[in-house]
């Protein structure tokens, strides 16, 4: 893995990253849903995203996992721009491997894409029992490349209960190093995590234990506000919990964290799936003060949309409305645009967050949705809705997939979800528009997360400020 010079896809600052070469390939984790064959495994697919290429917008590579039922989820690179931090422990590793967790199986797959980026190779498999034995955790969820190790989150314990938390993998051989927390304080529920790399602060968010989420959204837990509604703040060096920020019990399922890319700025945005009082979704801003404390405030509210009960799945019929269901957000590398997926209503919103306390909506596209599904020019009306969202490093291209989690897909889209990947163009004027030439259907499987070769807007951390 070692190089004599740093990997050219590592960038000192967000400005440098945005000015780098455009992506040519997208890696897309897909979940097999049975119509591909009940015993078919999930896969990592490779898509050509280079305009002008003969295979633009087409699948050009594929690797099926060795087992069935993994439910591949939020994967990431083994190394990234954080390796250029002056105090990083691994300055000459390569952005070469994809670290791919199976959320149901608790396996972790290490894929090598160096020799042939279009044909990933499985080079290591970490089984669930090893993860449990060395960390006490299960259901690995999210992977981030840190300056000192590979960090991953886990939803809970092997028995399906809590607590969830963070654990580390070695950068060189991907061995499981152990649980990260030294003192977790009151933290029990887990989901996403990120950090302010030059401030020694880690932020974690909260969803639910495996028992609370694996078989679908549990209405009794939701209405009694038992899913996550807090942020947790940690001292990175001491690995100790220092603060809990309760957003209010009605703000259920605090999911994706997107900190400012400019390391001088210790703030970020987090999405909340729903409010049990009115089914609205929301975006919150957190800001770290000089004394290390963090405060959070709601800066965007997205209301539910009225709907006839006969248009709604059973779970939503009593409410007479379709919730936005904000399941993912992405912040452009220049920290100016926030993209928000509303999986329920089928909308992808774009906000100007230059004034971070007063976001301004500048663009919107509708694709799919629970009620009155919106069409794509290449396919007609879609099922599912914008779910995982990934943004190119220059902020001009937005990639969308439509599957959340198999059991939740079935609840909110009971007619079934036909998987799709598409791309939007993000204009310098704040607009959003669908690329009519880029639409990839997935037969018998559903795409979840997308990663771009050379990095994307949610892959890397930077130690040097924008210029």
For 246-303, how does the pLDDT look when each residue is reduced to its tens digit (9 = 90+)?
999 999 999 999 999 999 999 999 999 999 999 999 999 999 999 989 999 999 999 9
End-to-end CA distance of the chain: 31
Mean pLDDT (the chain, rounded): 95
**pLDDT confidence tier of residue 172, bands split at 50, 70 and 90:** confident
Instruction: Tell me how far apart the alpha carbons of residues 286 and 291 are, in angstroms, rounded to a whole number.
Output: 14
Q: What is the mean pLDDT of residues 67-89?
A: 94
User: Residue 96 has what pLDDT?
Assistant: 96
User: Residue 38 has what pLDDT?
Assistant: 64
Please tell me the number of Cα atoms within 13 Å of 200 on its side-chain side. 12
What b/e readout covers 244-278, taking b as 16+ CB neighbours within 10 angstroms? ebebeeebbbbbbbbbbbbbebbbbbbbbbbbbee
In a domain? residue 5: no
**43 pLDDT more than 70:** yes
**59 pLDDT more than 90:** yes
**36 pLDDT more than 60:** no
Structural domains counted in the chain: 1
In a domain? residue 463: no
In a domain? residue 465: no
Tokens standing for residue 440: 């990839």
Instruction: Tell me how far apart the alpha carbons of residues 210 and 225 are, in angstroms, rounded to a whole number.
Output: 17
User: Residue 39 has what pLDDT?
Assistant: 73
In a domain? residue 99: yes
User: Residue 466 has what pLDDT?
Assistant: 83
Q: What is the mean pLDDT of residues 163-167?
A: 98
User: Residue 35 has what pLDDT?
Assistant: 56
DSSP letter string, 360-398: EEEEEEE-B-SSSPBEETTTEE-SS---SEEE-TTS-EE
What b/e readout covers 318-351, taking b as 16+ CB neighbours within 10 angstroms? eeebbbbbbbbbbbbbbbebbbbbbbbbbbbbbb
The residues, any chain, with a CB within 8 Å of residue 380's CB and separated by 6 or more, are none
**pLDDT confidence tier of residue 89, bands split at 50, 70 and 90:** confident
In a domain? residue 261: yes
Q: What is the pLDDT of residues 359-381, one digit of tens each?
A: 999 999 999 999 999 999 999 89
User: Residue 90 has what pLDDT?
Assistant: 79
The residues, any chain, with a CB within 8 Å of residue 274's CB and separated by 6 or more, are 222, 252, 253, 280, 281, 323, 324, 325
User: Residue 102 has what pLDDT?
Assistant: 97
Radius of gyration of the chain (CA): 20
In a domain? residue 151: yes
Q: What is the pLDDT of residues 291-347, one digit of tens each?
A: 989 999 999 999 999 999 999 999 999 999 999 999 999 999 999 999 999 999 999
* Cβ atoms of residues 445 and 32 within 8 Å: yes
In a domain? residue 234: yes
Percent above pLDDT 90 for the chain: 93
- By C-alpha distance, which of 79, 119, 71 is closest to 99? 79
**What residues make up the domain containing 141?**
14-452
User: Residue 382 has what pLDDT?
Assistant: 95
Instruction: Tell me how far apart the alpha carbons of residues 253 and 191 are, in angstroms, rounded to a whole number.
Output: 9
User: Residue 30 has what pLDDT?
Assistant: 97
**pLDDT confidence tier of residue 73, bands split at 50, 70 and 90:** very high
User: Residue 283 has what pLDDT?
Assistant: 98
Instruction: Tell me how far apart the alpha carbons of residues 198 and 270 are, in angstroms, rounded to a whole number.
Output: 20
Q: What is the mean pLDDT of residues 96-101?
A: 98
In a domain? residue 6: no
In this structure, what CATH number is given to the domain that contains residue 255?
A: 2.130.10.10
**138 pLDDT more than 60:** yes
Instruction: Tell me how far apart the alpha carbons of residues 193 and 204 are, in angstroms, rounded to a whole number.
Output: 4
């Amino acid at each position: 893995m070692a190089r004599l010079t740093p990997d050219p896809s590592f960038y000192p600052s967000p400005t440098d990253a945005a000015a780098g070469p455009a992506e040519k390939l997208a890696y897309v984790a897909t979940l097999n849903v049975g119509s591909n064959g009940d015993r078919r495994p999930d896969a990592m697919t490779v898509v050509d995203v280079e305009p002008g290429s003969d295979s633009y917008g087409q699948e050009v590579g594929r690797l099926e996992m060795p087992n069935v039922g993994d439910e591949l989820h939020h994967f990431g690179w083994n190394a990234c721009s954080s390796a250029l931090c002056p105090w990083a422990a691994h300055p000459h590793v390569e952005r070469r491997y994809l670290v791919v967790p199976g959320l149901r199986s608790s396996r972790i797959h290490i894929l090598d894409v160096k020799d042939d980026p279009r044909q990933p190779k499985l080079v290591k498999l970490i089984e669930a029992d090893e993860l449990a034995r060395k960390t006490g955790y299960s259901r690995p969820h999210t992977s981030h490349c840190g300056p000192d190790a590979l960090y991953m989150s886990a939803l809970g314990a092997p028995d399906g209960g809590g607590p969830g938390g963070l654990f580390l993998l070695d950068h060189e051989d991907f061995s499981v190093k152990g649980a990260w927390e030294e003192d977790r304080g009151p933290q029990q529920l887990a989901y996403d995590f990120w950090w302010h790399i030059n401030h020694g602060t880690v932020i974690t968010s909260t969803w639910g234990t495996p028992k609370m989420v694996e078989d679908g959204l549990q209405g009794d837990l939701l209405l009694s506000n038992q899913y996550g509604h807090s942020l947790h703040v940690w001292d990175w060096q001491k690995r100790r919990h220092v603060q809990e920020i309760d957003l209010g019990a009605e703000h259920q399922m605090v999911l994706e964290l997107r900190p400012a890319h400019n390391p001088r700025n210790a703030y970020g945005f987090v999405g909340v799936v729903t409010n049990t009082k009115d089914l609205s979704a929301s975006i919150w801003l957190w800001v770290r003060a000089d004394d290390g404390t963090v405060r959070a405030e709601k800066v965007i509210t997205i209301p539910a949309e009225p709907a006839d009960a006969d248009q709604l799945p059973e779970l939503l019929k009593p409410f007479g409305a379709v919730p936005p269901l904000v399941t993912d957000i992405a912040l452009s590398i220049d920290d100016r645009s926030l993209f928000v997926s509303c999986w329920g209503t089928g909308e992808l919103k774009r906000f100007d967050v230059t004034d971070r306390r007063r976001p301004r909506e500048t663009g919107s596209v509708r694709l799919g949705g629970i009620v009155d599904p919106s069409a794509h020019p290449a396919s007609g009306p879609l099922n599912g809705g914008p779910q995982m969202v990934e943004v190119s490093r220059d902020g001009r291209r937005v990639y969308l997939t439509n599957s959340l989690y198999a059991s939740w897909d079935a609840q909110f889209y009971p007619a079934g979800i036909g998987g799709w990947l598409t791309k939007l163009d993000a204009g310098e004027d704040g607009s959003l528009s669908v690329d009519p030439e880029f639409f990839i259907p997935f037969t018998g499987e559903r795409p979840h997360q997308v990663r771009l070769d050379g990095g994307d807007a949610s892959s890397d951390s930077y130690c040097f400020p924008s210029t």
